[in-house]
Amino acid sequence: MTLLKKEAYDLRSQYLKLMLIVTCTFLVVFLLFVFGDGIYRGYVETRFSIGNIFLWGGMLLAPFQLYKRYNHKIYGVNYFMLPASQTEKWLSMFFYCVIVTPVVIVLTVTLIDLCLYPFYPWVEKSLWFTDSNPFPAFNKSLFDALIIFFAVQSMLFLGNISFKRAKVQKTILAIIIFMVANIAFVGILVKLSGITNMPPMHGISFEFEEFSGILQIFKTINYLIAPVGLWIVSFMKMKEQQL
C-alpha cells in the first residue's frame, strides 16, 4: 500500500495531463464539426472511434510513459532501491498500467461525452456499447476492446522491463515478429485442417464463420494463453533483476 500511495502521488501530474489532453481533443473535434459545417451528427458518428483511440493510445503507451525510467542507469537504480519487494513493484506497475489508466481514460471520455450530449439528444446515450459507429473494426463493446488491449499491453509491459535502450523500437520489432509468427501459425492450422478454399477478404480481415474451430484456437492463444504467459514472464524478469 505504501508503494501504491507513493506512485499515486508521483504519477498524479501525468494522469492530470492525460485527462487534459483527452478533454481538449474532444472539445476541439466537437467545435470543428460545429463551426465547420454545422453537422452535429458527424461528431456523434466519430465519438466512439475517438474514445477507442484514446483507450488504445493510453493503455499501449502507459508502460513506457509511466515507468520510462525503469532500467535507466541512474533513475532505475533509485527505483530498484525503493523499500519494496519486486513483487510489490510489479503489482503496482500492473495496477497503474492495466487498471488505473483505462479507468481514468474511460471516465474522462464518458464525462466529456455526457457534457456534450445535450447538443445531440437524438442518438443513444451509450458511448462504449453503441453499434452505430461507422468503423466495423472498432464496433466492439468496451469489454471486448479491453480484452484486446490487455493482450497487446502484456507485450509492451514486458518490453519496457526487458530493454534498457530503444525500448519502444525493440518492443515494436518484437511485436512484428510475433505477428508474423501468428500468421505462419494460422497458415499451418489451415493447412493441417485440409481447408482448400480460403474465406473471402473484407477490408483487412477474413470472414471466419466457416472456420470457427481455427478462430477459437487463435483467440484462446492470443487473448488468453500468450498474454498470461507474458505477464508471468515479466514478473519473473523483475524477480530475476532483484537477485
**Residue 81: how many other CB atoms lie within 10 Å:** 8
The 10s digit of each residue's pLDDT in 47-81 is 777 777 887 788 788 888 888 777 766 666 677 77
pTM above 0.95, yes or no: no
Q: Is the pLDDT of residue 171 over 60?
A: yes
What residues does each domain of the chain span? Answer: 2-242
Q: Is the pLDDT of residue 8 over 50?
A: yes
Asked if 221 and 184 touch (Cβ cutoff 8 Å), the reply is no
Helix (H, G, I), strand (E, B) or coil at 136: helix
Of 176, 137, 225, the C-alpha closest to 184 is 176
Please state, in angstroms and as integers, the Cα–Cα distance from residue 119 to each residue in 25, 33, 44, 45, 55, following that order. Answer: 17, 12, 10, 14, 24
When mean pLDDT is compared across 148-157, 202-211, 231-240, the lowest value belongs to 202-211
Asked if 47 and 119 touch (Cβ cutoff 8 Å), the reply is no
Q: Is the pLDDT of residue 197 over 70?
A: no
